Homo-oligomer: A and B are copies of this chain.
């Protein structure tokens, strides 16, 4: 069993008003030095069997069809590194 992560973000040229609201709130909340905040979606897929080139290609196709709208969003597909400890 492997985990594949699909990250979906609005394209850079498309405004993210909520991210901007958070970014503008940060100095008032005591957090300086963050010049931009953008919010997207992260999908974690549990995949049976080996995640080889063919499997990644199919997940890429699935992401393109059902997880992202590629007119307004970019996405990445990658096998999750187990080193990512979560707090």
Q: What residues of chain A have their CB less than 8 Å away from a CB belonging to chain B?
A: 1, 7-9, 14-22, 24-26, 28-29, 31, 33-49, 55, 58-60, 62, 65-69, 71-72, 74-78, 84-87
Chosen A-B contacts, 17 in total, with CB atoms closer than 8 Å, are A17-B67, A17-B69, A18-B67, A29-B66, A34-B45, A34-B48, A35-B46, A35-B47, A37-B46, A39-B42, A39-B44, A40-B42, A40-B44, A42-B42, A60-B87, A76-B85, A76-B86
User: 6 nearest interchain CB pairs?
Assistant: A25-B25, A36-B46, A42-B42, A21-B66, A33-B48, A40-B42
Q: Determine the main DSSP class of A at the interface with B.
A: mixed
